[in-house]
Amino acid sequence: MRAIGTIEGKAYPLGRANIDTDIIIPAHWLKTVTREGLGRGAFETIRAEPGNVFDDERWQGAPILIAGENYGCGSSREHAAWAMADLGIRAVIAPSFSDIHSGNAFKNGILTVVLPQEQVDRLLEVAQEHPITIDLESQTVTTPYQDRFRFEIDAFRKDCLLKGLDEIGITMELDDAIAAHEVKAHADTPWVEGAAKAA
């Protein structure tokens, strides 16, 4: 995973609530067997609307997206995160996120920043003209004005993002603990094992 420190730049002022993963990347784009190239299908239905933020020159290549509540609801498709990453989005700011989607975003080095609606509204206003800065280390979002909004992020995620760590690699180092759990589970609930025939 790519490390994140400070993300600075234009922010798509999308603002809408309930942006579901079918909007982020429609199902007909899911037939790929790779992670690349999905930016072309990102936000396809919104991009069909005249005057949409994604095709407006002012925000071309913006690394930040600002949305309304419940961002990324719906399907678990990680393709949504891949599509956003392919489009160049490195952080999303919204009042709330779907649990699955924010996990997927994180695993692809995209920061999800939760801020209260009033602060999101203020950033939507600033983003019309100006860049926004997100600093992960200090957990703040700032604007060229006096705005300084602090956000929460869990310590593990923050550490992984700052260092660009591979989560599977970290877990594999805990092999002894996993094996010990398996021994105990085998004794307590032996019927759980062997439900599939290893092919």
CB 32 within 8 A of CB 38: yes
Smallest distance from other proteins to CB 9, Å: 25
Which member of 64, 65, 96, 113 binds other proteins (CB under 8 A)?
96
| Total residues binding other proteins (CB under 8 A) | 63
Q: Taking Cα atoms as reference points, which of 65, 94, 103, 80 lies closest to residue 22?
A: 80
Smallest distance from other proteins to CB 48, Å: 9
Q: What is the dihedral of CA 82, 84, 87, 93, to 10 degrees?
A: -150
Site membership for other proteins, residue 119 (CB under 8 A): no
CA distance 169 to 25: 29
Which member of 33, 51, 146, 187 binds other proteins (CB under 8 A)?
33
Smallest distance from other proteins to CB 142, Å: 26
Interface with other proteins in residues 129-158 (CB under 8 A)? 154-156
Q: Measured at the alpha carbon of residue 113, what is the angle toward residues 138 and 77, in degrees to the nearest 5? A: 140
Site membership for other proteins, residue 50 (CB under 8 A): no
Site membership for other proteins, residue 112 (CB under 8 A): no
CA distance 115 to 122: 11
Give the residue with the Cβ less far from other proteins, 150 or 184: 184
Site membership for other proteins, residue 56 (CB under 8 A): no
Which member of 9, 39, 88, 103 binds other proteins (CB under 8 A)?
103
Give the residue with the Cβ less far from other proteins, 59 or 97: 97
Span interacting with other proteins, options 6-14, 54-62, 125-133, 172-180, rule CB under 8 A: 172-180
Residues near other proteins, by CB under 8 A? 16-18, 20, 22-23, 26-28, 30-35, 45, 68-70, 73-79, 81, 96-101, 103-104, 107-108, 154-156, 167-169, 171-172, 174, 177-178, 181-182, 185, 188-199
